[in-house]
Amino acid sequence: MDTPILGEKSQFPTDEVIFCHIGKSKPLWLALFQYLDKERPGFTQEWRYYNDGKSWLMKVQQKKKTVFWLSILKGSFRTTFYIHERAMKIVQGSTISGELKEQFRTGKNFGRLRGVTVVYRNKKDVEFAKELIRIKLSIK
């Protein structure tokens, strides 16, 4: 998997800094955040520098529930969703790609949570993220 960038604690990830790093993925970034602003207005976004990973990460939440984590890559960005394993049938029956379904099924467990990471390369990845948001919020 690609290594996150934005490792300088002193360089806050402004739009200018982000767009410089993600390059041609900027339209995907804009599409994702336009969706969040329009369809999920209760979501909050917070950038924080994490010393353990030596990188800036964005945490997107609805109230106190973390929906996903976002990191910046060279030429792209990624979101990671941690979804409870009891959502296995929902994830497997969803419209996300077979690769993402496989990642959920066989990936590393974090207690009863399983991670699914979307790396943004084309418009379908934004649609997969929307579906994962829906799934994440449907699990109580």
**Cβ(140)–Cβ(85) under 8 Å?**
no
2 pLDDT more than 80: no
Is residue 4 scored above 90 in pLDDT? Answer: no
- Predicted TM-score of the model (pTM): 0.94
Contact 79, 117 (CB under 8 A): yes
> CB of 107 within 8 A of CB of 99?
no
Is residue 113 very low, low, confident or very high in pLDDT (cuts 50, 70, 90)?
Answer: very high
Query: 26 φ, ψ to 5°?
Result: -55, -45
Which token pair is 43?
């979501």
| Closest residue by Cα to residue 55 from 4, 111, 107 | 4
Sheet holding 65-73, edge to edge: 43-50, 55-62, 65-73, 76-84, 113-119, 109-110
Q: Are residues 132 and 116 in contact, defined by beta-carbon separation less than 8 angstroms?
A: yes
Whether the per-residue pLDDT at 3 is higher than 80: the answer is no
The percentage of residues in the chain with a pLDDT greater than 90, rounded to a whole number, is 91
- The whole-number pLDDT of residue 140 equals 78
**Residue 79: pLDDT band with limits 50, 70, 90:** very high
What are 55-76's pLDDT values in tens digits? 999 999 999 999 999 999 999 9
